[in-house]
Amino acid sequence: MSRINLVRKLLLEGPVRTPDGAGGFRADWEVLGEVWADVSMRTGREKSDGTVLLSTMGYKIVVRGAPHGSTMRPKPEQRFREGARIFRILAVAERDAGGQYLTCFVDEEVVA
């Protein structure tokens, strides 16, 4: 295993559904807390629907472990934010047998 450097401060955000007043819901994001992370790039790809070019970069984000059920344990429906950058969490796995660290597989999408 490579050395872990938790040097980037990220916000962990979770989705919140609020009524829109017309019988539907609006999706907002709520900050759950701050985490220190080690961010490394995995892969990148580009796709287009004919009008918009979308660049998707995959990253591995390693954070300190948190027990199951804790609000500070990342989950796939959540995201990390670093300023204007958004990292959508796709999957979370324990990095080591003791659960001291979690590896989050994330995507960052950017309109090119």
Residue 1 inside a domain? The answer is no
Distances, alpha carbon 50 to alpha carbons 57, 111, 112, in Å: 20, 13, 13
- What pLDDT score was predicted for residue 112? 64
Q: What residue numbers bound the domain in which 100 lies?
A: 8-111
* Listed range (19-23, 30-34, 70-74, 76-80) with the worst mean pLDDT: 19-23
Counting the structural domains of the chain, the total is 1
Residue 77 inside a domain? The answer is yes
Q: 1 pLDDT band (50/70/90 cuts)?
A: low
| Average pLDDT taken over every residue of the chain | 90
Residue 27 inside a domain? The answer is yes
What is the domain-level CATH number for residue 54?
Answer: 2.40.10.270
Residue 98 inside a domain? The answer is yes
- What pLDDT score was predicted for residue 82? 96
- What pLDDT score was predicted for residue 103? 96
Task: Give 63's contacts (C-beta < 8 A, 6+ positions apart).
Answer: 6, 10, 35, 36, 37, 38, 74, 101, 102, 104
Residue 2 inside a domain? The answer is no
Residue 91 inside a domain? The answer is yes
Residue 70 inside a domain? The answer is yes
Residue 12 inside a domain? The answer is yes
Instruction: Give 63-79 pLDDT, tens digit per residue.
Output: 999 998 898 999 999 99
Closest CA relative to residue 2, chosen from 52, 38, 32: 38
Tokens representing 48? 């287009």
| Interval 49-57 mean pLDDT | 81
